[in-house]
Every structure is written in C-alpha cells, then in structure tokens.
C-alpha cells in the first residue's frame, strides 16, 4: 500500500483518512476545540500592507539589476573613438568626475553593506531513541496506547471518568503505537525528579547533535552561535550551558536559551539565528529544539490539562546553519523568508494555552476551548503577511481585485484566498493534533499528499512540540520528494499566542539513499492508513 501511494504523482495524491482530536471540557463532553475560522470571511488590510512592506523594503536590490544591465549594454557598444571623446570631456570636467565617482563608490559600498547575507541550512538531525547516546533500554520508552492507559491507571491518581476521557482522546488522536515517552514517566510509580528531567534533555540534545556533527563533519569548536529552545523545562545552568559543557564549545560562543514560547519556538530560534548571522561574518549556528516531559506530565484531574498528556511525546532536533558562501555547495537549503505573528496583546489569545496550578496545586498546561479559533486567527494573519512575499503575480492580482471590490466598491464578494500550492511544493505543518491538521488542510485547500508528512509524523512520533517540523521535513527527504529548487513552507503554532513561518528553497536534490534520518529504516512502511478512531484494550475496572 505504501509503495502504491508513493508512486502517485503530486497532482493525483492518494486519499487518506483525515485525523482529528476533540478535547472536551471539564464539566461535559462538549468539545474544547472549535473549527478554525473560515479564512474567506475576512482579510485584514493592515497585514496585507505589512507583507508588501517587507517586499518593497527588499525591492531596491532588484531595481539595481536592470540598471546595471542597461549600463553594461551601453558600455559594450562604445568604440575607441567614443572612448577618446569621453576622455577629453572628463579632463575638462574634473570636479564633476570626482563628485560622480565619489557618489558611485558610496552607493556601491552602501549596497554591499546593506545586502542581507544568505543563510544556508547545512543539514539537520532528529532524535530517535534507537540512535541516542542514552545507555538505558530504549524499548522501555515506547508508549503504546495500552501502555499509556495501563500506567495511567496504576498511578491511582486519575478518576475513572478522567481515565475514560483520556482514552477517548487517545483513540481519536491520530497517534500510533510506537511513540516515545521518558522512562521516568512510565515507571511505577513515576520517577519525576530534576535528575531524570536532565537525563531526558541530555539524551535528546546530545543524541541529535552527535548525529548532526557526524553528518556535517563540523567540529564543535567551529560553532559560533548556539540557540536552544525548550518551553517548559528551564533548569540552572541552562540547557544551552549543558551543550556548551558537553561539547566544550569555545568561550566566546553566542549562547541563547529560549523558554516559555511553546511549539513555535523552533521557528523563532531560526529567525533569531537569521538576525545574528546578518551581523556576524563566517559563522556556524547550531539550533536545538526540544520539549521536556518528565517534570511536566500532568498528574491531576483537570481535563483542560489532561489533553497534553495524550498528545505530547519525546523528541527533538538539531539544525546547523551557516552564512559562509563556501558552504552553499554542500548545504541542503537556503532560508528565504521568516514571518512571525504574535497575538499576545489579545487576552483570549494570551490565555488559550496557559501553565498554571489546578485546584489541588498541581501544575499543568491548560488548553482553552478557544484554542482552535485563536490558532486560526493567528494563521490567517501570518499567511496574509506572507502572501505578497511568495505568491506569483497572477494570484496577487486576483486577491487584490476581490479585496478592492469589497473594500472600495462595497461589493458583497468573498475575499479571494490565494492558492499557496503555486508558491510551495512542500508543507510542514506543526503536528499539534489531528484537528489542527484537518482544519489547516481544509482552509488552505491542501491535498492529502501535501499533508502526509505532518500526519505521518503525528502518527509515528506524536506531538514533539517545536521539533515536529523537522521530522516532517525528514519524512519528505526520506521519500525522495525534495528536488533542487523546491520550496518548503514550515508553519508553527505556540502559546502566547504565536504563528510563525519559514520558507526554504532546496539547493540540491536530496538523495534518500545517502540520507540518515529517523525514517530511513522504516520509510517503506509509510504512509499508513490512520482511522478516525481506534479501539484501545484498556484494563480499567
């Protein structure tokens, strides 16, 4: 089945069953999550203007190209006699020549000083327990549905009703039977302590970074920038300090630790590195994205906090970026755009994913019933800003025609939502849950082929927070789908509330035979059919 589906072209993708999650409220079985808002209903003009502001701010570099071409054409047509006459004129207009030359040198210098440095993604690596540096038994980390329910019951913490609630969520989650959870959580009783949390973080970070350094051949001492993002586990010394200590990075490394920014923090880290590489020449930058589960598994009975137990799993990724021109030939991708959207000024958006204590003083992350609506508004804002940067002119003209008809002529027409499939060949949508994936697919009118990397990542690895986007890109590479010139759109959502995008262009065709990523030893098994719901053999009494 997997082979038949992979042979299908992009234009005629196989149909797969969509996957969704419907968390429910504490007091009833009413779903917490509503559908994403219909993007066709409203488009805010200010975000369109913002996108064009980004575009125009870079247009000066495009305008200089035809000017240089015209000048070169005129110079090439000059004869020896023309040059002699020009020399005579210059000798009698020395002041004009000096002023013009000074102005030209100034403009050329200004151009090269303000020209953004290109940022390359040399390679990346995703954590998988079988490849980790951990010395403990890896099978103990595999969390089947039955294992999840059995261990949840053995804690003697959850009520019978909430065990049934978690079972319903898990049955509809879209997660498979081979996701990973830290051993400390699966132990009976759970061993939730700082030492185990550090061990989990070390296994993920060192496992991914070891693989990345081996793939690229870059020495740890060559890394000049280090950015680590983990939302809910921020020990002292920091996670970035743990990497500096373990790999003995140089003393002047620019080290950053990003916390509390949810599942979109990975793309925030990429954007931060992009800014840093604009002001530092010939630098390697290492980004490590992960989430920690050990101290943040919720052992209480507030249903808004129980959903994360059912979805979040163990995972992480390490990404190596460079602004060295010499690295272009061996790099996989070039960073084209980053667009960040923050809705934190709105109280509903700010509170939709909130770490707090329940009525028994047990800490957990509460997910509001408004989460899907908030995510939809953030996504709509983000893509409205991104559109002018990436869409072909035909789509932009259609979009503006309908927008003008509605805003200026007050015509009762629905705004035209551009076809982003014309701008991107691949889509990596944060695998936060099947409901999010289904709604994004519907609103962006994506095919099952486009959504396959996200769905399969959710199925195989679960919600690994900010690193899920890299498992998805690794899936496309393992399938041999990435060709030179292909554009990939990564979309991440996070608490705050934030929606962030990055756009990559492939610098070469990725040969899966030469790749080493977490999918390679089992890629022939995918894609798989994911039913809307599965039955879990629970031991609940």
User: Which residues are marked as active site?
Assistant: 263, 342, 426, 430, 463
| Residue 198: its H or E element | helix 194-216
Upstream peptide bond of 189 is cis (omega within 30 degrees of 0): yes
Between CA 523 and CA 532, with CA 527 as vertex, the angle to 5 degrees is 140
Give dist(CA 278, CA 276) in Å, integer: 5
Q: How far apart are CA 339 and CA 234, in angstroms?
A: 26
Check residue 463 and report its DSSP letter: B
Both tokens of residue 217? Answer: 């051949």
Measured from the Cβ of residue 267, the count of other Cβ atoms closer than 10 Å reads: 29
6-27 burial: b if 16+ Cβ within 10 Å, else e: beeeeeebbebebbbbbbbebe
Q: What one-character-per-residue DSSP string does 19-44 give?
A: -----B-SSSS-BSPPPPPPTTS---
Give 497's DSSP letter: T
C-alpha 444/C-alpha 498 separation (Å) is 18
Widest Cα–Cα separation across the chain: 103
Q: CB of 408 within 8 A of CB of 4?
A: no
| CA–CA separation, 413 and 407 (whole Å) | 10
Residue 464's nearest CA partner among 492, 487, 443, 439 is 492
CB atoms within 10 A of CB 447: 17
Distances in whole angstroms, Cα of residue 532 to Cα of each of 17, 19, 434, 435, 438: 7, 6, 10, 11, 12
Q: Which residues, including other chains, have CB under 8 Å from residue 412's CB and lie 6 or more apart?
A: 406
What does DSSP say about strands 487-494 and 223-229: parallel, antiparallel, or unpaired? unpaired
Closest CA to 487 of 473, 499, 471: 473
What gap in Å lies between CA 415 and CA 40, rounded to an integer? 6
């Amino acid at each position: 089945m997997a082979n038949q589906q992979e042979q299908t072209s992009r234009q005629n993708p196989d149909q797969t069953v969509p996957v969704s999650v419907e968390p429910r409220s504490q007091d009833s079985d009413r779903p917490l999550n509503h559908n994403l808002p219909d993007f066709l209903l409203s488009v805010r003009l200010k975000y369109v203007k913002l996108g064009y502001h980004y575009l125009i701010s870079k247009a000066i570099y495009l305008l200089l190209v035809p000017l240089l071409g015209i000048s070169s054409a005129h110079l090439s047509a000059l004869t020896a006699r023309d040059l002699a006459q020009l020399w005579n004129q210059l000798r009698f207009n020395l002041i004009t020549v000096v002023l013009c030359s000074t102005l030209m040198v100034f403009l050329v210098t200004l151009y090269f000083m303000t020209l953004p440095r290109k940022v390359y993604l040399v390679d990346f690596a995703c954590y998988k327990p079988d490849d980790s540096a951990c010395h403990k038994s890896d099978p103990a980390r595999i969390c089947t549905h039955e294992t999840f329910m059995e261990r949840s019951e053995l804690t003697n913490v959850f009520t019978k009703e909430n065990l049934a609630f978690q079972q319903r969520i898990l049955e509809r989650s879209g997660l498979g039977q081979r996701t990973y959870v830290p051993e400390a959580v699966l132990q009976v009783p759970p061993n939730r302590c700082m030492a185990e949390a550090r061990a989990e973080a070390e296994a993920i970070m060192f496992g991914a970074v070891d693989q990345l350094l081996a793939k690229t051949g870059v020495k740890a001492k060559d890394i000049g920038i280090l950015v680590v993002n983990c939302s809910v586990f921020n020990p002292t010394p920091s996670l970035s300090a743990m990497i500096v200590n373990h790999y003995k990075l140089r003393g002047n490394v620019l080290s950053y630790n990003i916390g509390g920014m949810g599942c979109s923090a990975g793309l925030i880290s990429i954007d931060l590195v992009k800014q840093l590489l604009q002001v530092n020449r010939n630098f390697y930058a290492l980004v490590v994205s992960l989430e920690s589960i050990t101290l943040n598994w919720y052992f209480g009975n507030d249903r808004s906090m129980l959903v994360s137990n059912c979805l979040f799993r163990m995972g992480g990724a390490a990404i190596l970026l460079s602004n060295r021109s010499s690295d272009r030939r061996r790099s996989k991708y070039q960073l084209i755009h980053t667009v960040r959207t923050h809705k934190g000024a709105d109280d509903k958006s700010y509170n939709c994913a909130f770490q707090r204590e329940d009525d028994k003083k047990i800490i957990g992350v509460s997910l509001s019933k408004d989460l899907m609506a908030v995510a939809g508004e953030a996504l709509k804002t983000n893509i409205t800003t991104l559109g002018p940067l990436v869409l072909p002119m035909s789509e932009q003209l259609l979009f503006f025609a309908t927008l003008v008809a509605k805003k200026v002529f007050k015509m009762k027409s629905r705004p035209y939502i551009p076809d982003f499939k014309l701008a991107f060949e691949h889509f990596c949508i944060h695998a936060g849950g099947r409901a999010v994936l289904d709604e994004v697919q519907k609103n962006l009118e994506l095919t099952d082929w486009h959504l396959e990397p996200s769905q399969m990542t959710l199925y195989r690895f679960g919600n690994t927070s900010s690193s899920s986007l890299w498992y998805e890109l690794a899936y496309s590479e393992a399938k041999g789908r990435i060709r030179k010139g292909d554009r990939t759109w990564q979309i991440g959502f996070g608490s705050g509330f934030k929606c962030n995008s990055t756009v990559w262009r492939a610098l070469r065709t990725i040969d899966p035979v030469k790749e080493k990523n977490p999918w390679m030893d089992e890629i022939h098994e995918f894609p798989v059919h994911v039913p809307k719901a599965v039955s879990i053999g629970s031991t609940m009494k």
